[in-house]
Amino acid sequence: MRVHALNISKPKTIIYKGEEVFTGIYKVPTTEPRMVRVLNIDGDEQADLTVHGGVDKAVYGFPFEHYSYYQEKLKQDSYETGQFGENLTTEGLLESDVHIGDRYRVGEVVLEVSQPRSPCYKFAIKMETAEALSLCINSAKTGFYFRVLNEGFIQSGDPIEVDYSNTNAPTVEEVHRLYYLDKKNIDALTKAAGCNSLTKVWRDEFENRISKLTAKIPQ
């Protein structure tokens, strides 16, 4: 496992359908080492801190293995790294294998998986097609957010090592499917809601669903 590419950007304003959109999704690769901090990577920022960034979503990773899948399905040419707005283009980490709470060490940096990516309209803008949103949701090829447990430098090509595997927790793919596709699975929702490493907003959403679902069950 390794960092295939390190991608950063400052937010910028683009014009979309005649309206100004402020976004940090246009990441570009850098070969220089960058300091990874609790809230972000040096040289990188998030535009809308209500839905991006913060302690629980300081770094976003996306598997390089998915690049060809999106190219084929969307009938698009090759992408530059950072195409999906990710900070880390990873090799060897897939949503079906990565658990919420898994920790990975990259040099001195320790990253903990916190939640799947929840794509918004800016993702469709970046991908130049609304089809990308439904493709991301239905395929569960979303990538994953990390919180930073230990700061340090990262650069392209660095090896990624497992620091801790939280195998009792649901995988990123399982959590994604619960959120979007398998919304009434009480047992799986209960397991996910009880995972303290999952971001609070997702745990609260699952607990709310559990309450509504169990209220409908005849006593």
pLDDT in tens, 79-119: 999 999 999 999 999 999 999 999 999 999 999 999 999 99
90 alpha-carbon distance from chain centroid: 12
Write down the pLDDT at residue 46: 84
Comparing CA positions, the residue from 180, 149, 153 lying closest to residue 164 is 149
The CA distance from 137 to 134, in Å, is 5
- Which residues have C-beta within 8 Å of that of residue 40, sequence separation ≥ 6? 46, 53, 58, 59
Instruction: For residue 217, name the pLDDT band (cuts at 50, 70, 90).
Output: low
Write down the pLDDT at residue 219: 55
Q: 114 is written with which tokens? A: 């916190």
Comparing CA positions, the residue from 125, 121, 127, 154 lying closest to residue 73 is 127
Contact 179/115 with Cβ under 8 angstroms? no
Q: Is 89 helix (H, G, I), strand (E, B) or coil?
A: strand
* Residue 48 pLDDT greater than 90, yes or no: no
* Residue 20 pLDDT greater than 70, yes or no: yes
Phi first, then psi, for residue 60 (nearest 5°) are: -115, 130
Q: Indicate the CATH number for domain 2-165.
A: 2.40.33.20
Write down the pLDDT at residue 121: 86
Write down the pLDDT at residue 218: 62
Q: Is 88 helix (H, G, I), strand (E, B) or coil?
A: strand
Domain ranges (residues) in the chain: 2-165
* Least confident span in 5-9, 19-23, 47-51: 47-51
Instruction: For residue 137, name the pLDDT band (cuts at 50, 70, 90).
Output: very high
Q: Which amino acid is at 216?
A: K
The CA distance from 46 to 23, in Å, is 7
The CA distance from 63 to 84, in Å, is 10
Summarised one tens digit per residue, pLDDT across range 152-208 is 999 999 999 999 999 999 999 999 999 999 999 999 999 999 999 999 999 999 999
Comparing CA positions, the residue from 118, 110, 116, 76 lying closest to residue 95 is 116
- Which residues have C-beta within 8 Å of that of residue 27, sequence separation ≥ 6? 7, 8, 9, 44, 82, 85, 86, 87
The CA distance from 158 to 146, in Å, is 17
Instruction: For residue 70, name the pLDDT band (cuts at 50, 70, 90).
Output: very high
